[in-house]
Chains A and B, each alone.
Chain A
Amino acid sequence: MERENRFWRVILLALPLAVFAAFVIWPLADSFHYSFTNWNGFNPDFDYVGFDNFLKIHSDKLFLNAAINTALWIVAAIVVPTGLGLGLALLIDSRIPGGSVFKSIFYLPICLSAVVVGQIWVWIYQPDWGLLNTVVEAVSGESFNYAWLAKPDSALWSVILAWSWQQTGLSMVIFLAGLTTIPEELLEVCEIEGARALQRIRLVVIPLLTPATVVVIALNVINSLKGFDILYTMTGGGPFNSSDTLAMHMYNESFKKYLMGYGSAISVVLFLIALTIVRLYFRQLRKVDELHG
């Protein structure tokens, strides 16, 4: 019987494993392979160039720019949607009137595709008639047509804000789930002992939300590394590469400059960064499990 079960387990796992191998493992291995070539994407003939593509990364100013932007995005991903998600979760958990309605509204953006979210924010940022500049004009009483997505100083941050808007709902829901695990009695005891609301949040709620916070931060960081589609929709990495991330730089090098070998090398570096983050995440998760059972 056990042998029969094992057989069916293998059979039933075979198909998803085959799909995973075909669409994840194989392309991944191919990227590693092509990162050692000068393949241009069209030509079936290419040469092996050893570590040249990886050495080129060191002198590539656009790579450095993209790496800095990626790091900024990661930091923003840790701070903005995590902070906003926590704040919203605490507000909704405090049983304000219409809390469940607000919960649905704040969660809604995560149900939208990143392309749709990107397009909505392109309209919001539109310099001549977009919502943001219209509001600024109404408040200041002066003409204002700043092109948020077309200026190198603001393009990346404008995209990060739009991405955070979408991501906040997910953080909020995870924090809300975490809040349900905090015993009511504990908070009541704190209140009886004279702890004010902010003290209860800072000294009791936030420490007890550590498992949820680890999950939220990890998801936000991983999603920030995947934040290609919204960036592509909103700026395409522009103007003149100012909002490039590593994923966008890889895309530009591979598909616009036809340097598929070099683009593959960038993708390998990006993969190693993501792998490091995921390993750190699992290590942290293990520690949290040990602490919180």
Chain B
Amino acid sequence: MITLNRRGALAALAVAPALLLGAPAFAQGGDVTLTHYFTGEFGLKLFNEQVAKFEADTGHTIKNSPIGHEDFKTDILVRAAGDSLPDVFSYWAGARTQFVVDAGSLHPIDDMWARDGLDSVVAKSVADSATMYNGKRYLVPFNYHYAGMFYNTQVLADAGVSEMPTDWDGFMALCETLKAAGVTPIALGSKYRWPAQFWFDYLLLNTAGPDYRAALMDGSAAYDDAEVKAAMAMWRELADKGYFAPNANADTWTDASDKVARGDAAMTLMGTWITGYWNGLGLEPGKDYDFFPFPSIADGLPGSVVGPVDGLVVSNDGENRAGAEAFLSYMMSSADVQASWTSGYGALSANVNVDPANYNEVMQRVSTVVAGADVFAFNYDLATPPPVAEVGLSMFSRFMDDPSQVDDILAQAAADAAQAFTE
């Protein structure tokens, strides 16, 4: 029979916390801890397959903790606040990564980049725009996306549309034709706000140009400027004419995509991940759906495309930095991983060794459009600091609820953004 005296009880109490604290260290060993947002409709199964290739080829073991896309934004901050960031995590290139770099939470990867010759692997345009922060390299561009007007081919054909618009007048005419045919022209699912940002991005880029937009993003221009008002007026015209499906703020991006897939709406302005989603539903690229670039509006402006870059970064307080760098290098350099990931996920690869023939026919044309663009701009919430992005995202959502309030909405956004830039 085991008996416990007072000294034994005290000793047990003293030792227990130490054992608890020590347990994670024993469990971690040589594993590489990884957290990412490639979940659910964002390709969890496919991502896991790529991770398995890394494990098989390198002998490293990944401790994988996927987090839902929306929850990830909070979770990674909670982990940073608790000094428990994983060795590697996925993150969006642009202002969000800049914020984390400024906070000192990321480890620079210049040495790994040079050692593994990534200069000859990563497309220079993407490397220049997405990987460098404060003069150092912090991120590998695991994939990137493009936002375009994705449509249901049958719906447009039934409405007698055979030629896609390239300018604003043509686009308005298309919407009118669809509406006259009894079809809702545009689906937008702005329940989580961010899908609305692409409208703002393209309207502003194509009316005021990328330089003005960059000024708005860094706080040197204001949300109640004439340029922003002009862009919003065009957005309002679309809403006032009833071209958007009702209750945009009640739908998620997948709800809006489903509406287009079902033929309840004709098109949606969305990132290329929609192709992965639709392919997963059994839709055939080029046959069931297709895309056209957002129409140009003002003459003489550089041709801009918008999208996010999904990156992989190494945290500063990770325990297995060598393993983390090996993971980044492998996932970026392996043409096999890049080809199967981007083609399945509905994304573009920044790896120059990936043969475009791997993409389906829609993504091949997307690739051509992106390659021919003068400017690749990060979408709104990756282009401006996170506290300001919150202001803008709420502004878009409020606008979609009641476009007639646009002047009040812009005045409020101007004041709130000015405040957010000072924080």
Which residues of chain B come closer than 8 Å to A149, judged between CB atoms? 250
A61-75 near B? 1/0 per residue, CB < 8 Å: 000000000000000
The residue among B73, B103, B249, B397 with the most chain A CB atoms within 10 A of its own CB is B249
- Name the CB-closest residue of B to A30: B81
Question: Which residues of chain A (174-194) have a CB below 8 Å from chain B?
Answer: none
Given contact pairs A41-B77, A42-B80, A147-B250, A252 touches B397 in the complex (Cβ within 8 A) = no
**Separation in Å of the A25 CB from the closest CB of chain B?**
16
The residue among B10, B192, B386 with the most chain A CB atoms within 10 A of its own CB is B386
User: Which of A238, A251, A259 has a CB less than 8 Å from the CB of B423?
Assistant: A259
Which residues of chain A come closer than 8 Å to B193, judged between CB atoms? 238
Beyond A147-B249, A149-B250, A255-B78, 5 extra complex contacts between A and B, CB < 8 Å: A42-B105, A150-B191, A151-B401, A238-B191, A256-B390
The verdict on B182 contacting chain A, using a C-beta distance below 8 Å, is: no
Which residues of chain B come closer than 8 Å to A236, judged between CB atoms? 192
CB atoms of B102 and A150 under 8 A apart: no
Which residues of chain A come closer than 8 Å to B192, judged between CB atoms? 236
CB atoms of B81 and A42 under 8 A apart: yes
The verdict on A284 contacting chain B, using a C-beta distance below 8 Å, is: no
A259 to B420, CA, bound (A): 10
Question: Which residues of chain A (29-76) have a CB below 8 Å from chain B?
Answer: 40-45
CB atoms of B398 and A240 under 8 A apart: yes
The residue among A127, A128, A258, A259 with the most chain B CB atoms within 10 A of its own CB is A258
CB atoms of B398 and A239 under 8 A apart: yes
Which residues of chain B come closer than 8 Å to A109, judged between CB atoms? none
The verdict on B9 contacting chain A, using a C-beta distance below 8 Å, is: yes
Given contact pairs A145-B247, A259-B387, A239 touches B401 in the complex (Cβ within 8 A) = yes
**Separation in Å of the A41 CB from the closest CB of chain B?**
5
- Name the CB-closest residue of B to A4: B6
The verdict on A291 contacting chain B, using a C-beta distance below 8 Å, is: no
The verdict on B74 contacting chain A, using a C-beta distance below 8 Å, is: yes
A240 to B100, CA, bound (A): 26
CB atoms of B249 and A239 under 8 A apart: yes
The residue among A14, A44, A260 with the most chain B CB atoms within 10 A of its own CB is A44
Which residues of chain A come closer than 8 Å to B78, judged between CB atoms? 255
A265 to B156, CA, bound (A): 54
B88-126 near A? 1/0 per residue, CB < 8 Å: 000000000001101111000000000000000000000
A258 to B390, CA, bound (A): 10
Label chain A's interface by main secondary structure.
loop
Which residues of chain B come closer than 8 Å to A40, judged between CB atoms? 99, 103
Which residues of chain B come closer than 8 Å to A7, judged between CB atoms? 6
CB atoms of A11 and B104 under 8 A apart: no
A7 to B5, CA, bound (A): 11
CB atoms of B99 and A256 under 8 A apart: no
A258 to B78, CA, bound (A): 10
Chain B interface (Cβ within 8 Å of chain A)?
6, 9-10, 13, 17, 73-74, 77-78, 80-81, 99-100, 102-105, 191-193, 246-250, 386-387, 390, 394-395, 397-398, 401, 420, 423
CB atoms of B103 and A42 under 8 A apart: yes
A188-229 near B? 1/0 per residue, CB < 8 Å: 000000000000000000000000000000000000000000
A79 to B177, CA, bound (A): 52
Given contact pairs A42-B99, A43-B102, A240 touches B81 in the complex (Cβ within 8 A) = no
Total interface residues on A, using CB and 8 Å?
33
CB atoms of A14 and B13 under 8 A apart: yes
Question: Which residues of chain A (250-272) have a CB below 8 Å from chain B?
Answer: 251-252, 255-260
CB atoms of A11 and B9 under 8 A apart: yes
Interchain Cβ contacts under 8 Å between A and B, 23 examples: A15-B13, A40-B99, A41-B81, A42-B80, A42-B99, A42-B100, A43-B102, A43-B103, A43-B105, A126-B250, A145-B246, A147-B250, A150-B401, A238-B191, A238-B193, A239-B401, A240-B397, A255-B77, A256-B74, A256-B386, A257-B423, A258-B77, A258-B99
| The 9 residue pairs across chains A and B that have the minimum distance between CB atoms | A42-B103, A150-B250, A147-B250, A43-B103, A150-B249, A147-B247, A257-B387, A240-B398, A255-B74
CB atoms of A41 and B80 under 8 A apart: yes
A257 to B77, CA, bound (A): 11
Which residues of chain B come closer than 8 Å to A44, judged between CB atoms? 103-104
Question: Which residues of chain A (1-39) have a CB below 8 Å from chain B?
Answer: 7, 11, 14-15, 18
A18 to B80, CA, bound (A): 24
Which residues of chain B come closer than 8 Å to A14, judged between CB atoms? 13
A44 to B9, CA, bound (A): 38
A127 to B81, CA, bound (A): 39
Which residues of chain B come closer than 8 Å to A45, judged between CB atoms? 104
